[in-house]
Structure 1
Amino acid sequence: MAYIVNPDVVHYACSCGLLKPISRLYFCRHCLELRCGFCVCHEVDSLFCGKCLDNRTSKEAAERKNKCLNCFICPSCQQQLSMRSSTVKSTEGGKESSKVVYLICLWCRWTTRDVGISDQPVGNNRWPERDNVYANRLHGIQERYKALVLAEMQQKLEKDKKRQKKYVTYTERTGITAAMIRKKLGIPDVPNPHLKNKINEAEPAIPHEDVDELPEELLTQPIILTNITTLDQRLIQPDMQPTVVDKLYPVRKQLSVKQSLRCRSCEHNVSKPEYNPNSIKFKIQLFAYYYVPEVRIFTVEPLRVEKKCELLLKFVNPTQYQTTIKLLPYYKKVKADFEAVKQETDVSLDTVEDSKENVVKLEVKEVKEEKPETKESKEPTSLTSLPSLASLSITRQQSTTIKPRPCDAEITADLIIPECSFILPPRDDAAEYDDTADSHNYQDDPKVVVHRKCNKATIRLQVIPKQMELGEEVVVAFTMQHIYTTTSMENKEPIKTPLEVPVFLSLGKVVGSQ
């Protein structure tokens, strides 16, 4: 798990131009492109509580303000609170009464008894909550904005009614309106309470010139920081924002979300979890480190300006098929992509110009040929039905195509890339513990391939840092071309496709020039 414990020094270029580690990228099997979090659509599948694992519908979550009614978190350290039971003896005769429970944090040892909250009987999970002093004002503001929304909707409906219609409605024919029908049936016409002639204005905040003086305790007594709440403790309760520790109340736990990710280009899912909150499995799991070879920095010599430094990279094949990797310069990949995009735009512009000329010719031809009007000639002719425009395929626009964009990262070193390619065997979990399974005869160049084991290979490269100041970061880039193998339901034979992925490496800082 080197991509989790190690720092982010190896980045892959997404199709949108952003640099991300391989653990934060997705691979679309239909587009055959890398996608980051900005290149996919996020869709909410389910809402659930992370502690009690109860599912909630979107309506229930909105009514409860996306919080669980049964679970609480500590207002001091934001960890989960647990219940502890105890017995209380009655004052009369010393007999034991029913058991009671209280909340305690197993991390910072905060309890509900510290702030004076009484213990609750077993089975009653309704803990007291503090009343917000600004509740009435907030309710008035919400009602005002609801009235504004309804008023705007009513104005929009009235404008739509005033527009000229191409057909006559039943009301216009008979003159009977909905108000007349209600009056004839004896139903009172009750207007919407929010739709009034005048919307109630919210009470504005009134400034006061008389401000209370600071208490003398702030100037005479020493400040005890342990009794004052931190910024996080105040923001977790925005309605109260307590200033002292004695006013911290338990906070209801917010609901968690299970979301599915969909590619913006082809609209296929790249990640879809199970609906059950108890399960951590995925129905669709197209993470990049399952399909794209992983690059790790093995060792690098001290970097000196305009001096050759040895760089050892380890390549790992995560798939169950053998792949061939070839390293290419980064500028060739970018140049080829932009030439392809330019050709596509030129072709699209030519087709638009040709379509305009064809339409003009058709109009001129129809004017010259005067024929008697028939039922067929009166019908409007669609553009797609014309023989000259049928080849242009004027149809509904397909899903968005993401054009390749260059990366903004500055390359500060040259990389000497070998011309030969190397092979990575498929992944075999059992071979990790078998030393006799490393007998491969791939006829590698010993100057390039240093070491092999199972599905891993270590490659030697040369880096030459450019002229820069001492202590600046050295960044190199190359394009990794690998063979992606997949199978389909129609054709069971594996299909091999060469793919190219730009890779950026942060090798460290320059130590000197000699």
Structure 2
Amino acid sequence: MEHLPSAEAKMKKNRCFTCFDCPNCFHTLSVRATTRSLDDSQPKTSSKHYYLACFFCRWTTRDVGIPDQVAATGNWPVKENPHQELLTSFLDHYKIVAMRERSEKEKKPFVLRRGYTSYTEKFGLTNMIARKRAGLPSLPLAGKDINPANLPAITPCVASETVEPLSDTFFTEPPDLTKITTISQRHANPMLQAVSTSGLHPQHRHFYIKRSLRCRSCEHNVSKPEYNPGSIKFKIQLAAYYHMPEIRVMTFEPLMAGRSCEIILKLTNPTLHLTSLQFSPPAKNNKGGSVEVVSGDPPKKSIDVPQPVVVEGVNSKIELPICPVVLPPRDDAAEYDDTGDTHNFQDDPKIVVWRKGNKAAVKFIITPDDGLQPGTDVIFSFALEYGYVNTMQTVEVKQPQRAEMQVNVFIAPGKILGAIEE
């Protein structure tokens, strides 16, 4: 959740200097405090010492001999690449080579043409003056010499025919796979690629970036690539998941063409308000109706049910429940309560077959169309009507408002089975 501009993140090699990844399971390491230090060089006092630990695989920095730190945000030692100087010289060399190639492409041919206002534009002197004023070094000239003097000298790598022999224990003792690193662990740190788990060291965590995501229907921004991850716009654009009822398929009977079968859908209320769900045929215009102020009484119906229409892709008929289904608000403590529900709802057992907390299982009857071939996906649809409570206060209205929403739901539970011989 750190806010950094792209230039500073690039300068830090897209890594965070305060967070570390576990080299064993790649989860984020946490700082643990203790009054006991394993390093004999540190003075034995009652002060606290800190080390890094993984809550997932129980890996700690003490497993590889990293000393404890006296501060929680201490300078944790990171094992550097032994070939860092050689790689740095290669990068500096090829940066200058890339600048030379870019200058050759941008250099204009020496041909007399009309349209030049001055000789500086004709011979490319404007770029040189601009770089000099900005304090940047001048570009190396692309002359006849292939290796100009201003290029840093690099030492080429030479292949060696001598290979370090294997130890005798490799042939005499059975291998212990718990002490040998995996391919994923070696690729996570390609600079070192430790062979044994004792050589694993934590690495700085990579930065994450938020990308843009648009709706496929209306092309509005669902998530914007903002620099600040804690932005209010980010939370508002993704608020539909926390306010719309969740629908999942629990069980269904074998799907046969032209035969009725039962299907049970699990409905979940993710909001902190009482919600009443009603089911109707799919509508062409699924827009919300009037808005009313939330009170202690249950919300009243405030929209007109539109006429049902034929939706493309639907190949099944559905019998919808007539009575509404009321879902209580979400309670995190109810997930751990096995004594039973305290809500007393008068549900029809033919419609609501199961209820717990803010969840309820509702039974539907669907009939796939005649003539569907085996292996065809069964798709049915209905309109779900629910109440949405807007708790955002505005200048005009400072009380929570309730709006009745209606959305079309398309469900594909499975495929048509073959005919059963009677």
- For the aligned pair, the TM-score class normalised by the smaller chain equals 0.5 to 0.7
Q: 1:102–1:120: 8 Å Cα contact kept in structure 2?
A: yes
Q: Distance in 1 between matches of 2:54 and 2:108?
A: 61
Kept after mapping to 2: 8 A contact 1:86/1:101: yes
Separation in structure 1 between the aligned mates of residue 121 and residue 78 of structure 2, nearest angstrom: 60
Residue 458 of structure 1: which of 352, 363, 380 is its match?
A: 363
* Closer/same/farther in 2, CA of residues 501 and 149 from structure 1, 3 Å limit: farther
Q: Distance in 2 between matches of 1:181 and 1:251?
A: 43
Could you tell me which runs of 5 or more consecutive residues in structure 1 were left unpaired when the two chains were aligned: 1-47, 49-53, 336-413, 440-445
Q: Aligned runs of 1:62-73 on 2, under 5 Å? A: 62-73=10-21
Q: Distance in 1 between matches of 2:230 and 2:86?
A: 38
Q: Is the 8 A contact 2:246 2:268 kept in 1?
A: yes
Q: In terms of mean alpha carbon deviation, does 227-236 or 95-104 score higher?
A: 95-104
Q: CA deviation at 1:225?
A: 1.8
Name the structure where strand makes up a greater proportion of residues: 1
What SS does the aligned partner of 2:367 have? strand
Residues 299-338 of structure 1: CA distance to partner in whole angstroms, max 9, x if unpaired? Answer: 423x37668351224385979797663259xxx6448xxx
- 1:304–1:513 CA contact under 8 A, matched in 2: no
1:304/1:510 contact within 8 Å kept: no
1:506 aligns with 2:414: yes
Closer/same/farther in 2, CA of residues 254 and 180 from structure 1, 3 Å limit: closer
1:55 aligns with 2:3: yes
Q: Could you say which residue in structure 2 is the equivalent of 1:169?
A: 117
Alignment partners' CA distance in 2, 1:111 and 1:173: 62
Map of 2:280 onto structure 1: 325
Say whether the 8 Å CA contact 2:23–2:200 is kept in structure 1: yes
Q: How far apart, CA to CA, are the structure 2 residues paired with 1:228 and 1:481? A: 56
CA distance 1:334–1:136, shift in 2 (3 Å): farther
Return the letter of the residue paired with 1:59.
A
User: Which residue does the alignment assign to 2:102?
Assistant: 153
1:191, CA displacement in angstroms? 2.7
Measure, in 1, the Cα distance between the counterparts of 2:268 and 2:73.
55
Equivalent position to 1:246, from 195, 198, 213: 198
Letter in 2 for 1:325: S
Distance 1:314 1:159, change over 3 A: same
Q: Report the Cα distance in structure 2 between the residues aligned to 1:176 and 1:73, rounded to whole angstroms.
A: 49
- Say which SS state the counterpart of residue 192 (structure 1) adopts: coil
SS at match of 2:379: strand
Q: Distance in 1 between matches of 2:73 and 2:243?
A: 48
| 1:146 match: secondary structure | helix
Cα distance in structure 2, aligned partners of 1:254 and 1:72: 9
Percentage of matched positions with identical amino acids: 24
| Shift in CA distance, 504/174, structure 1 to aligned 2, threshold 3 Å | closer
The amino acid that maps onto 1:158 is K
> 2: CA distance between counterparts of 1:425 and 1:160?
78
CA contact (8 A) 1:424 1:457 kept: no
**1:419–1:216 distance in 2 versus 1, CA, 3 Å:** closer
Q: Provide, for residues 270-298 of structure 1, a one-character-per-residue CA deviation record: whole Å limited to 9, x for no partner.
A: 2469946599981322546845x754335
TM-score (norm 2): 0.60
- One-letter code of the match for 1:154? S
Q: d(CA) in 1 for partners of 2:277 and 2:419?
A: 40
For residues 304-453 of structure 1, the aligned pairs below 5 Å read 308=259, 310-314=261-265, 325-326=280-281, 333-334=311-312, 416-418=316-318, 429=329, 435=344, 450-451=351-352
Q: Which amino acid in 1 is paired with 2:380?
A: F
In structure 2, what is the Cα distance between the partners aligned to 1:279 and 1:155? 48
Residue 461 of structure 1: CA displacement? 1.4
Given that residues 247 and 265 in structure 2 are in contact (C-alpha distance below 8 angstroms), is that contact kept between their aligned partners in structure 1?
A: yes
Match runs of 1:32-43 below 5 Å: none
- Describe the SS at the equivalent of 1:417: strand
CA distance in 2, matches of 1:259, 1:179: 35
Q: CA RMSD in A?
A: 5.7
Give the number of the structure with larger relative contact order, counting CA–CA contacts within 8 Å between residues 6 or more apart.
1
* Contact kept in structure 2, 1:81 and 1:106, CA below 8 Å: yes
2:237 match: secondary structure: strand
Match of 1:103, SS?
Answer: strand
Asked if the contact 1:415–1:461 (Cα under 8 Å) also holds between the matched residues in 2, the reply is no
In the alignment, which residue of structure 1 is the partner of 2:288? none
Return the alpha-carbon distance in structure 1 between the equivalents of residues 347 and 129 of structure 2.
Answer: 88
State the distance in 2 between where 1:265 and 1:235 align: 40
Look up the match of 1:74. 22
**Alignment partner for residue 227 of structure 1, among 172, 179, 192?**
179
Instruction: Tell me the SS of whatever aligns to 1:246.
Output: helix
Shift of 1:244: 0.6
Deviation at 1:437, TM superposition (A): 7.3
**Count of residues paired in the alignment:** 358
Shift of 1:241: 0.9
**What's the CA shift for 1:236?**
2.1
CA–CA distance in 1 between the matches of 2:228 and 2:382?
Answer: 37
2:380 is matched with: 478
Look up the equivalent residue of 2:83 and give its one-letter code.
Answer: Y
Contact residue 270 and residue 284 of structure 1 kept, 8 A: yes
Deviation of 1:62 (Å):
1.8
Q: CA deviation at 1:242?
A: 0.4
Q: Distance in 2 between matches of 1:255 and 1:501?
A: 37
Instruction: Tell me how far 1:240 sits from its aligned partner.
Output: 0.7
Residue correspondence of structure 1 range 187-266 to structure 2 within 5 A: 191-192=138-139, 198=146, 206-258=158-210, 261-263=213-215
Deviation at 1:417, TM superposition (A): 0.7
SS at match of 1:114: helix
Q: Of the candidates 59, 63, 66, which is equivalent to residue 117 of structure 1?
A: 66
What is the Cα deviation at residue 219 of structure 1?
A: 1.1
- Bigger share in helix: 1
Q: CA deviation at 1:140?
A: 3.8
Aligned to 2:291: none
Distance 2:246 2:180 in 1: 49
